[in-house]
Amino acid sequence: MCIAAFLWQAHPLYPLFLLQNRDEYHNRQAKATKEVAWWENGEILGGRDEVAGGTWLGCSRAGRVALLTNVLELHSLPEARTRGDLPLLFLQSTKSPKEFAEQLVVEGNQYNGFNLILADIGSKSMVYVSNRPRGEPIVVQEVSPGIHVVSNAKLDSPWHKAKRLEETFKEELRRYGESEIPVKEMIEKLMRDKVKANESELPHICATDWESNLSSIFVQVDTPLGLYGTRSSAALTVKTNGEHGLVEPKPWPLERNIKQ
């Protein structure tokens, strides 16, 4: 499912500072994805989905950034195109974020529900596009400077996990002010939060138990198909001096004592 918080064009040292959790079945991670690395062409830095293709978070030497999360919904389309292709296609493209997003207005309904953040650091341009809610027109939205959170609903939707991550992110940013931000410390402090929502705070789209298990920033749940939850965290940083990096500590260890 995934969740990300990011600071955009609102810090003297970081045009972009982004934290992200990736959720999936743990038994799939070992065989289906590669950790963050430069791809063979040497132009794209990101993780790679070896089964479905594409990536969920990446940047390019040209200063382009793409982030993808899935939308929580009851039904999916088995014949849908692979959502992970979208970040990759943007990173390989020369189109502006807005131009690329507007292209998706035409073909976006060929994919299952997605949220897509596209940025070009050089032009200080960032847009958000989603193909949900189903049946509604796809809208391209310019992302304003400041703090934003995207999980499995629209950008900045007030879901429990999104509000909680936004609050803790703001607290830590106030702590460091305009100075350097310690990336690994931020990941450890913010992205391992296991506090779940009360039932009244759930979106009531799927089964209550499932939504409850997904409502924390760091997800852990045993299912009939195996352990599902947060398998890795990452931080993507871009500095005003042009330096950019994508840090992904080793995958979080399996924890089996999590039956609900």
pLDDT bin (cut points 50, 70, 90) of residue 51 is confident
Residue 258 lies in a domain: no
Residue 59 lies in a domain: yes
Digit-coded pLDDT (tens) for 85-111: 999 999 999 999 999 999 999 899 999
Residue 260 lies in a domain: no
Residue 253 lies in a domain: no
Convert 92-129 into a string of H (helix), E (strand) and C (coil): HCCCCHHHHHHHHHHHHHHECCEEEEEEECCCCEEEEE
Q: How many structural domains does the chain have? A: 1
Residue 256 lies in a domain: no
Cα–Cα dist 145/143, whole Å: 7
CATH of the domain at 180: 3.60.60.10
Cα–Cα dist 142/245, whole Å: 24
Residue 252 lies in a domain: no
How many degrees, rounded to 5, is the angle at CA 15 between CA 12 and CA 17? 105
Residue 126 φ then ψ, to 5°: -140, 135
Residue 147 lies in a domain: yes
pLDDT in the model for residue 26: 82
pLDDT in the model for residue 33: 58
pTM as predicted:
0.93
Residue 255 lies in a domain: no
| Residue-number span of the structural domain to which 47 is assigned | 3-247
pLDDT > 70 fraction of the chain, expressed in percent and rounded: 92
pLDDT bin (cut points 50, 70, 90) of residue 47 is confident
Helices and strands per DSSP (H, E), number in the chain:
6, 13
